[in-house]
Amino acid sequence: MESQLVECVPNFSEGRDQSIIDSIIQPIIDNANVSLLDIDMGSDFNRTVVTMVGEPESVLKTVIECTSVALDLIDMRDHSGEHARMGAVDVVPFIPINGVSMEDCVELSKRYAKIVSEQHSLPVYLYANSAIKPQRVRLPDIRKGEYEGWEEKIFLPQWKPDYGPVEFKPKMGVTATGARDLLIAFNVNLNTADKSMANIIASKIRTSGTIVKNEKGEKVRDINGQVKRTQGMYKHLQAAGWMYNEHVAQVSMNFLDFSITGLYDVTETIKKEASILGLEANAGELVGLVPLQAIVNAGRKYAKTNVQDVAVLVQYAIEGLMLDRLEKFDPTESIIEWAMQRG
């Protein structure tokens, strides 16, 4: 019988206190049916992305336990960070890996939402493939206004929580959960401290493109009142300008379908666009894990020869995507299939 594997990648709004993260991940360590693949703490973002994989029921039980710990230890009233956020447990996606359908993961997300909302009186929103309202499919649309905006936003009829009370919880904020395909979170650093330069590049490459403005700098709207946008260069790509630290701006990206928009093409475009601005793209940063095929695809393009050895292709990708510029990059820890074998 085919083994069932689900990946879950909860994002917690704490990236500076190691003791809090240690407590949050303890339920994963304690469950023999769940593997902890990655912990990505970001001090400037003040955010930690945790990657676990395992049998569906075990993953659900474990992430609920992690959520309880996080809601107890994290206080959003004291939180600040570079990354957009709206809750102590910011987002909890479920991803089908093996022997599990997208519909199975949708059901897991709904069960998660029901349980944590009832246990903690936590407002929860369904997004991605679990969304039941069109304006909640995209996570950035839910996050708009961030934590501070939810004090008023939650009382708007169109933003009534899918689960939990219609009440702003200052300590916890709100949480989003849903089922989605594998997502690659990859950033490219620039040799500038000017975030607006990263935003210029991000607006050109992302699917949503840029907002059209008139000569007065005002947003242009169509006959239905919708803001007009110039389409971006790549499909299935989210991008924004962020700060890696106070001295380094970066183009922060989510690749929603690497089979259509791959790491190589986008990275090389960023290098080109940076050069036009008189800048240099000087490092790549992977947040969480990446499928082996996505790395191999990039390696083939960087190799420019008919290389078949997977390990060699991975090394070409590491060098071309600049993944070894910030610190040593260990593919056995960062490539999903290799991390699972190792774990």
pLDDT digits (tens, 9 = 90+) for 148-171: 999 999 999 999 999 999 999 999
- In the chain, where are the structural domains located? 5-179, 184-342
Confidence category of residue 81, pLDDT binned at 50, 70, 90: confident
Q: What kind and span of H or E run contains 125?
A: strand 124-128
Residues constituting the chain: 343
Asked which of 25-29, 94-98, 116-120 is least confident by mean pLDDT, the reply is 94-98
The span from the CA of 165 to the CA of 63, in Å, is: 21
Give the count of alpha carbons within 13 A of 21, CB side only: 22
Q: What is the pLDDT, as a whole number, of residue 2?
A: 58
pLDDT digits (tens, 9 = 90+) for 11-23: 999 999 999 999 9
Both tokens assigned to 189: 């650093």
Q: What is the pLDDT, as a whole number, of residue 143?
A: 93
Q: Which of 83, 120, 236, 247 is catalytic?
A: 83
Contact at 8 Å (CB) between 287 and 187?
yes
Architecture of domain 5-179 in CATH?
2-Layer Sandwich (3.30)
Q: Average pLDDT, stretch 52-57?
A: 94
pTM assigned to the model: 0.75
pLDDT digits (tens, 9 = 90+) for 309-341: 999 999 999 999 999 999 999 999 899 888 877
pLDDT at 1 over 70: no
Known catalytic membership, residue 79: no
Fold of 184-342: Alpha-Beta Plaits (3.30.70)
Determine the distance from the C-alpha atom of residue 210 to the mean position of all C-alpha atoms in its chain, rounded to a whole number. Answer: 21
181 or 262: whose pLDDT is higher?
Answer: 262
Taking every pair of C-alpha atoms in the chain, what is the biggest distance, in angstroms?
Answer: 64
